[in-house]
Amino acid sequence: MHRALELAALGPVVGDHARVGAVVLAPDGQVLGEGWHRGAGTAHAEVDAMSHVAPELLRGATAVVTLEPCNHTGRTGPCAVALMEAGVARVVYAIDDPGAHAHGGADRLRAAGVDVVSGVLADQAEQFLERWLLSVRLGRPWITVKWASSLDGRAAAADGTSKWITGAAARQHVHEQRAAHDAILVGTGTVLADDPSLTARGDAGELLAEQPLPVVLGDRVVPEDAALRRHPRGVVVLPGHDLDRSLRHLRELGVHSVLVEGGPTIASAFIAAGLVDEYLLYLAPVLIGGPRVALGDLGVGSISERRRLDVASTTSLGPDLLVRARPARARGAEGAQNDRSMP
């Protein structure tokens, strides 16, 4: 299973699919084949692994896979059926597939007489697939909120200028994070004020292979000559300010992860609504002062209502500091407000 997780990590980070790995073993434990899912429309990990094994060797073999074999026909057929037809005698997997249509492969295999074992390295698999699992379970994408600020919490100077608070290393890291998310979201205010391209670019300014889908939230019109109109993925405009509805729509488009890069207004709206799963805070060793704070009103009226975070890591990026944090896991008066699932 450790090897299957390593194989799963070879699959693309973004896209409407789960990253899954599989290993096929002979009865004596010898590895017969390995495989992983390479993206939507390609063979699933189990089928990919079996494709490297002679058919006669599959009979009586064991398939080890990081996610429950699927039980539905989409772009490909059910993996549970493929395993049964190949004569695989035992299937070992880490976690159940939470998808309403895909779930049930394990029961189907058991009904056909296949020995099925679940829960092997489940914690590791849950952590590896956390973004995809959350999006399927809650019906909304994983939300990462990012901002860059001075040490005193300012996102811009008093005149509105903000290029550049952080250095080149921090800015390049942001581009890498854009490429690691399915979509990037800003409000119309950011579009009108900054005219961002919202592309993921390399050190030399070249476009990276993976580009996030740009999403604009709000009612003001995106100008026809806006840089976003030239984005290689096009642009999705979501009118209104209903975050729940907008996120459900993005999930229907196959978006599993969103990087929120808007200004203080939109970042604060996501935080106040309890819809943030991870924070990326880029802190520059400068002081600016003034009114241009990184966040606005979060609905915190007293210190007892403060929103607590767990710091997952701190990383030096040149002169700057990246703080990666998540809503605190604690429950109770201070912790419960950090958790909110969409209906």
Give the C-alpha separation, 158 to 341, whole Å: 37
Active-site annotation holds for 176: no
**In this predicted structure, what is the pLDDT of residue 229?**
93
What stretch of H or E contains 187?
Answer: strand 183-187
Q: Which of 343, 99, 131, 140 is nearest to 252 (CA)?
A: 140
Sheet holding 236-238, edge to edge: 236-238, 213-217, 183-187, 257-260, 142-150, 278-284, 320-327, 309-317
What are 236's strand-pairing partners?
Answer: 215
**In this predicted structure, what is the pLDDT of residue 262?**
80
pLDDT tens digit sequence for 76-134: 778 999 999 999 999 999 999 998 777 889 999 999 999 999 999 999 999 999 999 99
Q: What residue spans in the chain does CATH classification 3.40.140.10 cover?
A: 2-128
330: pLDDT confidence band, cut at 50, 70 and 90?
A: low
**In this predicted structure, what is the pLDDT of residue 152?**
93
One of 46, 68, 261, 278 is an active-site residue; which one? Answer: 46
Q: What residue spans in the chain does CATH classification 3.40.430.10 cover?
A: 138-338
Instruction: Give the number of other Cβ atoms within 10 Å of residue 152's Cβ.
Output: 13
CATH architecture entry for 138-338: 3-Layer(aba) Sandwich (3.40)
**In this predicted structure, what is the pLDDT of residue 340?**
43
**In this predicted structure, what is the pLDDT of residue 246?**
96
pLDDT tens digit sequence for 19-58: 999 999 999 999 999 999 998 888 999 999 999 999 999 9
Counts for the chain of helices (H) and strands (E), in that order: 11, 13
What are 284's strand-pairing partners?
Answer: 150
* Mean pLDDT, range 142-155, rounded to an integer: 95
**In this predicted structure, what is the pLDDT of residue 338?**
44
40-44, 85-89, 146-150, 210-214: the lowest-pLDDT one = 40-44
What percent of the chain is modeled with pLDDT above 70?
Answer: 95
CATH number 3.40.140.10 is the correct assignment for the domain at 2-128: yes
What are 311's strand-pairing partners?
Answer: 325
What are 146's strand-pairing partners?
Answer: 280
Give the C-alpha separation, 175 to 201, whole Å: 6
The whole-angstrom distance between residue 106's C-alpha and the CA centroid of its chain comes to 26
Three-class SS state of 103: coil
